[in-house]
Amino acid sequence: MKKVFVPFAIACLSALTLVSCKKDVKEDAISSETLNQIQSLGFSTDGVKKVGADFLVEGDIMLSQKDLQSRPTTPTLLIASEEQYRTFNLVSASKHPVIKVALNNSSSQHDAAFSASLDETIRRYNAENLTVTFQRVTTGADITVVAFYEVSNTLGSSGFPTSTGDPYNEVRMNTYWYNTGTDATNTNYIATIMTHEIGHCIGFRHTDYMNRAYSCGGRKSNEGQSNTGVGAVLIPGTPSAADPNSFMLACIGSNVNRYFNANDKIALAYLY
């Protein structure tokens, strides 16, 4: 992506983003070996944070030690010569025809809003008639949505599927940023973040990973190398114009509702 859209730049200035736009968090020292592994997987080594035994990259994606040592099994999808859907491992549709999702929310005042938003998230995915469907459960979940509170630019975080075809098992939502209402605006906004994070859980990378300034504003920041690991697959027949509203853009403004756009739907149908 080459163009910086002003509304997105403003969104970043107000710090309402999926990811940090500026480095205001003290980072633990990360070994150069680890940074090399992260880079060789095609991720940005900018602002990597150590979280327990894992690493948070590109603002909202958790990579485990096992992830660092693995190789992606699916290619980069290239849409309209511009949008990138860099996948990692995919969820096995034969192993998980139904992906079970639970809410285990520690913030009681957000319970109603998170519950309505998770239902909306599941509705959005299931409306696409994919080879995997999503189901809300209370026990035995494949993906559990949890709350945390942190004064940071992170709205939520998650990770990528395992090499054995399981979805990443947790979506973390930062209650610092969310209202508690169940009105449509708030529900759609929180559902947009949950849909994005679950997008990572089933293998989606950031649409604008080649240049996060596209949605985040600020300086141009290439999140990774497109030519490492596996190649790019151009999806034929997709529009030639860029879509500024992909659900997998790295950053977002407050109360924005990003439904799947035309290219997102093509990518979803292509992968699942």
**Contact positions vs Zn ion (CB under 5 A):** 60
Neighbours of 264 (CB within 10 A): 24
3-class SS at 50? Answer: strand
Minimum CB–partner distance for residue 60 and Zn ion (Å): 4
Question: Which CB, 60 or 82, lies closer to Zn ion?
Answer: 60
Question: Which CB, 103 or 194, lies closer to Zn ion?
Answer: 194
Question: Which CB, 134 or 247, lies closer to Zn ion?
Answer: 247
Which residue reads 């500026």 in tokens?
22
Which residue reads 């290619």 in tokens?
75
Which residue reads 């995915």 in tokens?
125
d(CA 268, CA 250): 17
Minimum CB–partner distance for residue 26 and Zn ion (Å): 22
- Specify whether the CB–CB gap between 64 and 139 falls below 8 A: no
Minimum CB–partner distance for residue 38 and Zn ion (Å): 15
d(CA 191, CA 203): 18
Question: Which CB, 63 or 98, lies closer to Zn ion?
Answer: 63
Minimum CB–partner distance for residue 61 and Zn ion (Å): 6
Q: Could you give the strand order of the β-sheet that contains 83-86, starting from the edge strand earlier in sequence?
A: 83-86, 76-79, 232-235
Question: Which CB, 159 or 229, lies closer to Zn ion?
Answer: 159
Minimum CB–partner distance for residue 260 and Zn ion (Å): 15
